[in-house]
Structure 1
Amino acid sequence: MIGLTPKQAWDVLREGNKRFINGESEHPSQGIEDRARLVAGQHPHVVLFGCADSRLAAEIIFDQGLGDMFVVRTAGHVVDSAVMGSLEYAAEVLEVPLVVILGHDSCGAVKATLDALDDLQIPGGYIRDVVERVTPSILAGRSEGLTRVDEFEARHVVETGRLLMQRSRIIADRVANGKLAIVGLTYALNEGAVQLQGAYGDIGQSYVEIDTAGNGHKGAHEASAAVDEAQSA
């Protein structure tokens, strides 16, 4: 789907998730002709940055097909330079209109970080790096009085959106120009449904604006101020 607006891309995902929830998936763009068509190039309408959990298969959850989604996944959707480069490539080169940050319940990375902070024992190896990158979200959540694991999972999605806007001039500029939107979602493993936790940009529905200052959330009417704040950070 070439030339979609951020709102249209979001609508496509919402409808796809509804089909998945209801057991009515259409499994689009998976045939022989589709594979042949995509050899010439890709034009995805979404870049999805999500947790690497095996239960979080992006194309299945949103009933999308080959060439529809540019997918980047890490444990706990933690951000590093390779992730930023991949997301900027999708935004600037592929001109994808929508960035989706996808977290979920029963997230091992969030639970491991909570346990590490409670027990004062940080895992070894590269798992330590994952825990250290999730830690700011947990600390921010605790400062806001959060206690439940699902609240921390949602807070980590919000924090990830803030990081993308603060660290990437390319992404922040495209959001400010109306060419891109970011949505932060959490996925319920049992129900198969995604829940909107916050957003940047125009997605055509009421939402809670992610606070770039890390102070929880802002109202949608403060969207332009939030973008300006991210750009000046």
Structure 2
Amino acid sequence: MYKLSQVTKDYPKGRATVHALRGVNVEIADGEWLSIQGPTGHGKSTLLQLLGGLDRPTSGSLELNGRDLARLGENAMTKVRASQIGFIFQTFNLIPTLSAQENVETALVPLGIKDSARRSRAAEALASVGLSDRARHLPSELSGGQQQRVAIARALVKEPKVLLADEPTGNLDEDTRDEIIGLLEKLWQDNGLTMIMVTHDSTVARRAQRLGTMRNGQLTVKQTVK
């Protein structure tokens, strides 16, 4: 699925250079769940952005199914993001003026799917996260947990190969956290997803098959103990 070889990412900061990633090497298998932890500012979110094609490495190769994302043209990269990768964020990133149904449908617009098929697939995705009865509600009319479920449905409606989650339970209370992680685990298993999750929560991280730790822009990975 993913193969990263000597991936670096540098950012200019004034006259200085921030070395966000320093030679990351890792392989992530098809259908694997990898959680990534580490102190704030040590490269976790940067790595997730590169895996999602939202940014490009400064050097090194980052292959997804044999294609080096670092060398793809912008149009090809946009197609990869639109069709193969789903994103979930801590802040949900829902459009406040759109209903839950409409928010989910937005993920299908870049794929050129017709209106009727888009509505049908969005309804199915909302049903898969237990929100059929909230389809017409605006984000402001939903709880935090419900908003994250909408965000999960939006990520999965396009049937991606990869699910990238950046602190998906960071804004949720403990009970809702457990509910959302249980849902993600079920969807990961049922859909054969490759899931990469950044989280500060060790309880969440230990649910994964492997646990990565980011420190000073370098990644170490080990098997989790079940």
TM-score, L = length of structure 2: 0.34
Higher helix share: 1
TM-score, L = length of structure 1: 0.33
Higher strand share: 2
Higher relative contact order (CA 8 A, sep 6+): 2
